[in-house]
Each structure stands twice: as structure tokens, then as C-alpha cells.
Amino acid sequence: MFIGFDYGTSNCAVAIMDQGKPTLLPLEGHSTYIPSTLCAPTRESVSEHLFRHLNIAPSDVVGEQILRRSIAYNREEGIELVPEDIVFGQAALDLYLKDPRDVYYVKSPKSFLGASGLHEVQISFFEDLVCAMMANIKHTAEQQLQHTITDTVIGRPINFHGRGGDLANQQAEAILIKAAKRAGFRHIEFQFEPVAAGLEYEAALAQDQTVLVVDIGGGTTDCSLIKMGPSYRGKTDRADSLLAHSGQRVGGNDLDIYLALKKLMDHFGMSSQMVSGIKMPISQFWNPIAINNVEAQKDFYAKQNLAALNRLRQDAQEPEKLLRLIEVYNETLGYSLVRRAEEAKIALSKDDNYLVRIALLNEILEVDISRAQMVDAIESPKSKMIELVKEAVSQGGVQPDAIFMTGGSAQSPVLCQAIEQQLPNIPIVRGNDFGSVTAGLTRWAEICFK
């Protein structure tokens, strides 16, 4: 049996073909989407959980070394791991927000898969994370279907990590393949996410069109200029219909991060100065909220950085603000700050103002943000997204007949307006913002595995 598998940066979804149409399966309660999150007692618990409770062995020598060290660490800490200790999706976020200090929390591991400079140990650890999430989703789907799932088409962005090129993409695909095989899939194919979304749109077309698919997800923005319609539907070779691709690791997460940076981090000391008049180092305010950057997170939460933060507080003109930043360090609040910014972004798509409330140990910090301020804060990532739209059209050498927008961040009226301004007088068609890619992957799986 086959499924289409959208292993997304923000959410994951899977679907089967049912009576000729893709049908998404519930993955968390009644929801057909599960947030791409994992929460565990310790970082080391993931590897042990796979081996001890799911009977999933490491894929190589490095993984075996990690497993041995993980088991030894958990025994030293007195952690007796039970299956329920590893949680996923909204349950993982709820557990993290309840007490960030006492758990290990990961959001959007897909963002890191193509990162340059990863060591073998880091690559193996990300493989474990992805495998655990995929195994949970596969098991949930199989329970509902009462059938073993053996084959899958997994969606992938045009570029996993910025413009890291083939090496970054090969690294990310290798991690996904190993993780998927360990989770129990036998036959694995990939399809570009914007192409998959286009396949779902194509199913409803009565005549051929040239369509610009713009997929703005949590981690990446991907654009594909595609000829589609009845003449192309169902073909196994679509090379001639794919006119251009562009993609970069800039998505909804970046909008949240920039909004947090521009509107929240001043309250933690970013724009303040030292007694000497020297400005605060920007990295100390960027790193905690750069949740899609391995090195930034590592640098901020390193043990030696606490001493640096205390020195900044001692030398600060407004030391009370630096105390808040030290609390971010001690309480691991980076994800929480970005979450508050995400809530503001969503609210400001409809409302003119939004009051952010940040619960700290000794105060409730309130920050009022206007829609205009939000638009100004996200200008940098928004501009990168529009450049990708321009690049795809330029490469294809032809104006599209329609623009098909999909992805969670495609709901943003700010982004829609920016694309309309870039490509005026071209109709914008909206799909299922969260489900189009999954549906298209499932249609492609039917072609691959029939």
C-alpha cells in the first residue's frame, strides 16, 4: 500500500487514494495535520526510544555509537524511558510550554537537514529525529487503515538549505531516505513540493495552462512554472512540462523570527547600550530566536555563553532588560518567543493591532504590535520570497496564465498582495493551503506504484 507523505517544516500530513481522489488521514485526534515537533525527557532519549520501544536499530556505526552513549547517559541520570515519554505534534508543544527547562524539544528538524558543516554525529541524530516522527505517523496511519504501508512519495523543496546546491540537497535526501527505511517504508520516491501542489490543481483543469505554483511553507518558498492540463495529466515523464524552478530556505518561520527580532527583542535589551555607549552585540538577540539555525542555537545555549550574558548585564545601561535575556537562556524560551510572534503574525492578518503577552518568571511582558509594524518587520524575508517568484518566471521565459498559491504562509494577505504587485493582471488561484502538496504527492504515488 502507498501513501503521499508531506514531511513539512511546520506540519506533516499523509494521504491515500480513495475512489480516485486523495484522502488525508487523521494524525492527531481528528486533525489531518500534525505539527512537526517532538518532545522527550532528554536529547539522548530519542535514539534509545527507537531501539528499545520500536525495535528500530541504527543504520550505521555512528548511529550505534550514539545509541550506546545515549543509553549510558540516561542510566546515569536515572531515566527509565517508557514509550509514552516521547510525544509528538501539539502534545509535544504543550509539554514544552508547560516547563521548558525539564524537556528536550525540537521543532521543524527538516529545516536543518541540508545545513552545511554538519558532523556525522549531527547527521545521525537528525536521522533519528526524522525516523521517530515518520514511524509515529506511519503507525498512526496503519492503525486507521488496518493495512501495512510499504511505499511512499515524500515531498521535498527545490532547495533544502538556502542555495546550498546539490551537496546540501543530497545530504537532506539521504537523511530522509535512511529515516524512512528505518521507519518501515520499502520503496521511496521524491517529488518537488510545488510540482506536487500543481498536480493537485491540474486534476481540476479542463484545458491546458501555464501555471506558476508558489508554495510558501514554514521553512521554504518554492516556485515552479509548469505546463499542465488534460494533455499532461497522468504522464510518468513530466520533464517537458516543467519550465522552471526556484527555491530557497525562507518561509513562514522566517517571518516569525524577524517579527520577534524587530518587535520583541528590544524588550530583552537589543537596542540598549552598555555604560560605555557601545551597542549590544546583535548575535545575543538573534541566536535564541533563530530556531532554524543549528549553530545559532548551539552558541546561545552553550554553557560559556551564560558568563558572557552576565557580563553584558553588568555593563548594561538597562540591566533589567538583560535579566530577561538571561531568563531566556535559563528557561530555554527561544521557541516560546517565536511562537508568540507567530500568533501575532496570524492575528495581524485580520486585525490592525495585537497585544503580545510573554509570561516571564516575575512579570507579564506586554508588547503592542500594529499591522504596519509587522509588515515593516518582515520586509527582508518577504523580499526574498518575491525574488524567487521573479526568478521562476524569468527562467521560464513566459508569463503564466495563472498563479496557484499554496502552503500555510500563502494565507498571508501581505504576501498575496506583494505577488499581485509583482505579476499584475494574472489571476491568483488558492488551493488547500495545507493539503494541496499532500494530495499531489498521493496522485504521484499512484503513478509511481501502480
Spell out the per-residue pLDDT of the chain, length 450, in tens.
999 999 999 999 999 999 999 999 999 999 999 999 999 999 999 999 999 999 999 999 999 999 999 999 999 999 999 999 999 999 999 998 888 878 899 988 998 999 888 899 999 999 999 999 999 999 999 999 999 999 999 999 999 976 557 899 999 999 999 999 999 999 999 999 999 999 999 999 999 999 999 999 999 999 999 999 999 988 888 888 999 999 998 999 999 999 999 999 999 999 999 999 999 999 999 999 999 888 899 899 999 999 999 999 999 999 999 999 999 999 999 999 999 999 999 999 999 999 999 999 999 999 999 999 999 999 999 999 999 999 999 999 999 999 999 998 888 999 999 999 999 999 999 877 789 999 999 999 999 998
Q: Which of 333, 314, 332, 335 is nearest to 323 (CA)?
A: 314
Give me the count of residues in the chain: 450
pLDDT for the residue 11? 94
On the question of a common fold for 2-185 and 206-250+380-430, the answer reads yes
Domain 206-250+380-430 homologous superfamily, CATH:
ATPase, nucleotide binding domain (3.30.420.40)
Residues 278-312: tens digit of each pLDDT: 999 999 999 999 998 888 998 999 999 999 999 99
Name the pTM for this structure. Answer: 0.87
pLDDT of residue 162: 61
Residue 406 has φ and ψ, to the nearest 5°, of -150, 175
Q: What is the pLDDT of residue 163?
A: 54
Domain layout of the chain by residue ranges: 2-185, 206-250+380-430, 253-378
The reply to whether CATH 3.30.420.40 applies to domain 2-185 is: yes
